[in-house]
Amino acid sequence: CGTPVPSSGGLIAGYAHQKPPRVLVASRNFANDATFEIKKCDLHRLEEGPPVTTVLTREDGLRYYRMMQTVRRMELKADQLYKQKIIRGFCHLCDGQEACCVGLEAGINPTDHLITAYRAHGFTFTRGLSVREILAELTGRRGGCAKGKGGSMHMYAKNFYGGNGIVGAQVPLGAGIALACKYNGKDEVCLTLYGDGAANQGQIFEAYNMAALWKLPCIFICENNRYGMGTSVERAAASTDYYKRGDFIPGLRVDGMDILCVREATRFAAAHCRSGKGPILMELQTYRYHGHSMSDPGVSYRTREEIQEVRSKSDPIMLLKDRMVNSNLASVEELKEIDVEVRKEIEDAAQFATADPEPPLEELGYHIYSSDPPFEVRGANQWIKFKSIS
């Protein structure tokens, strides 16, 4: 069935902050695992690709389901808080794309690295931060993961380098992280994500070139959700085969709505990089249900019918749920109980994110450097000074 695969240890990091799920009394005997056929990836400069069948254990399935449902509910809560003007500024939601962040994490190790653009809430969660820290960051509170100073686009965790607000700018940084992996001689890879809207940027091709020359362990990942802001890929790109854009770099086109496809493709790509063959490119074909950002209603350049069709036929959570129920890996009632627990977790996190105090003004200059003696930072004029503490 293709390359030997690691366990889904990458998800342990993203799960460590949560209480272990309550063991449900099984009303019937469930299967321990099931084998599924998955869609064959389109290949570029590769003789063989990821396997077309995969085994899903009951334990992994329940974990993936809970994580995807948590990301979905968290994004819907962020939408609600934004409309209540509790969250301000830029806010880009990833509901619809949950199979990408959870599937990628399932295919790597916690010691591997990941950097992405500004649609980052899901990755922040799967890389190990709690919903409470993420929502509190969105509301600009002290309990946020960046102490309320980063907001939606600038969240960080162990081996997670953000959220980056400049379109495409994270891609050369990702190549740099991969260079550090190689330089330090560690068997680690860097997942470098960008959207279809960034895919025509010159700096991305410069990063491809350097990564290929130096054989960097970098997985370049284009999350193709079909629209760069309000422009469809067909109107923005002369070639929409994003997985072939690396030219001299091998590529895969993956069903980004199927968590098992994403997981297997990621394992394959990570094994490629770890073997010393250099970078590889992945295109995840996915879809966002919300507009580009909260200021975009998302229906002026696509129809409501189009969005509804994707929801009804390709929803990543629904696909996993159907597979698990039909293969006796879980019952509908058990998954509904997970839904109830997830909703409660999100509500509790939202309560914290609205009640927690904002950071005081004197902390404005804090954390500019990680380990420097305190120094003064000039404020809006020369008479205003802020102390900076590492």
For residue 175, the domain's CATH number is: 3.40.50.970
What angle is formed at CA 228 by the lines to CA 226 and CA 230, rounded to 5 degrees?
95
Residue 143 covered by a domain: yes
Sign of CA dihedral 2, 3, 7, 8: negative
Q: What sections of the chain are H helices per DSSP?
A: 10-15, 58-83, 98-106, 121-126, 131-138, 170-183, 202-213, 233-236, 259-274, 304-314, 316-326, 332-355
Phi, psi of 193 (to 5 degrees): -105, 145
Cβ pair 95, 76 in contact under 8 A: yes
Count structural domains, the chain. Answer: 1
What angle is formed at CA 271 by the lines to CA 268 and CA 277, rounded to 5 degrees?
110
Question: Measured between alpha carbons, how far is 375 from 390 in angstroms, rounded to an integer?
Answer: 9
pLDDT at 12: 47
Stretches in the chain below the pLDDT threshold 50:
1-8, 10, 12-14, 16, 25-26
Indicate left, alpha or beta for 140 from its phi (over 0: left) and psi (-120 to 50: alpha).
left
pLDDT at 24: 53
Residue 106 covered by a domain: yes
Sign of CA dihedral 348, 349, 351, 352: positive
pLDDT at 317: 98
Cβ pair 133, 95 in contact under 8 A: no
pLDDT at 28: 77
Residue 389 covered by a domain: no
Cβ pair 92, 119 in contact under 8 A: yes
Instruction: Kindly give the pairing relationship between strand 42-44 and strand 190-195.
Output: unpaired
DSSP assignment letter at 377: E
Residue 90 covered by a domain: yes
Q: Model confidence over 118-162: pLDDT tens digits?
A: 999 999 999 999 999 999 999 999 999 999 999 999 999 999 999
Range of the domain at 64: 41-367
Residue 251 covered by a domain: yes
